Amino acid sequence: MSSPRLLVTAKAPRPGHIKTRMCPPLGLRMAARLGHAFLTDAITGARTVDPSAGLLAPTGDTGELAELFPGIPVIAQQSTGLAAALEHAVAGGALLVSGDAPDYPAELIRRGLSSTADLVLGPSLDGGYCLIGMRRFHPAPFRGISWSTGAVLEQTLDAARAAGLQVELLDPAPDIDTVDDLAACDLARAPATAALLADRDLAPFLPKPVPAVLTHATAYETPWRRLVIDRLDDGRDYSYLKTPRAVWVVPVTDDGDTMFVRQYRHPVRAHPLEMPAGSIEPDEPPAAAAVRELREEVGGVARDLRRVGGFYSSSAHVSLQGIVFLASGVVFKSPTQAAAEGIELVRMPFRRAVELAQGGELCEAQSALAVILAGHAL
């Protein structure tokens, strides 16, 4: 059987696997529920245009998606990585629509299917695109693109035009990557998403209007943080610390041990027990930061790394967003920077670490929460 011409890009709605940019403020399970609703609306909308439309998904997700969407073709990506997967599907003659766009207009899909241009693109409001197809395949639109950035559409257009391709641009439409993006969603075209947003369990986490920032000034700056003063449109001045996002990594060995670090923390004049943690560099994937911090702080190398949660560190005072990873099958074998940085390593059974966290014995709240989230995931 030939592959459907119209495919919706999809990932299995597993916690920690989909819509992670919504966490925080959402938890991973709530974000996965939203991802399921988005995909339900996206494939339903696509099949109003072409009843044979299917899903395009990573190989490891196809079985789960086939169970969730019986009767809908689920096509396995023939390549790994976003760029290669898109390129291979488009080269096979498919028109692709984003599963992150639950309210994508059917009329734009029809225009995409009927386009006679060499390349048709449906721009998204964040600088990417929700739809792509080609009348005659050329690899240029998939090469040299800064994926997952606001430059995707512009770079794709530049590459296509440099290759002499005729491009048709459709009307822009929203896709949903963050909680704030929900405000641009037309729920009249997304009934599954609308039903979930009406769920009273989700309502307390949805965005509300925020004050506009009239001025934004930096009062003091170091390589790790900035003291910022914002003047809001309600007349208030708000000062806070602006910091990069950071990862917390909970290592667990096959023997059931974990590793804490202890170092001097001047604001509290103490050496609290902490999980390995550190800032995410600009444009660095959170998982890559987790691998780096695990290796540098405790010499750990993990067999498996899984995102298990996220949090705001202190939402009234600091902008920091923490992302928690569970590192399983860890072997502590690599050289560390611990001694040079004055860090003491403390190894203990992970079960004991969970008991300490749940019993209120870990005073460093971020690490305590990381241990609890990892324990729940296990």
Beta-carbon neighbour count of residue 126 at 10 Å? 20
Can you give the pLDDT at residue 2?
66
> Could you tell me where in the chain the CATH 3.90.79.10 domains are found?
246-377
- For residue 375, the surrounding DSSP H or E stretch is helix 365-377
> Could you tell me where in the chain the CATH 3.90.550.10 domains are found?
6-197
Asked whether 136 and 115 are in contact (CB, 8 A), the reply is no
Lowest mean pLDDT among 3-7, 73-77, 340-344: 340-344
246-377: in CATH 3.90.79.10? yes
Helix spans in the chain (H): 28-49, 62-68, 82-91, 106-114, 152-162, 191-197, 286-298, 350-358, 365-377
Would you identify the CATH topology of the domain 6-197?
Spore Coat Polysaccharide Biosynthesis Protein SpsA; Chain A (3.90.550)
For the chain, give the mean pLDDT.
93
CA–CA separation, 195 vs 43, rounded Å? 16
DSSP state for residue 162 in the 8-state scheme:
H
Task: Using DSSP bridges, classify how beta strands 167-169 and 119-123 pair: parallel, antiparallel or unpaired.
Answer: parallel
Can you give the pLDDT at residue 232?
95
The two tokens of residue 299 are 């010499």
Asked whether 300 and 321 are in contact (CB, 8 A), the reply is no
**pLDDT interval class at 3 (50, 70, 90):** confident
CA–CA separation, 367 vs 254, rounded Å? 21
**pLDDT interval class at 148 (50, 70, 90):** confident
Asked whether 51 and 13 are in contact (CB, 8 A), the reply is no
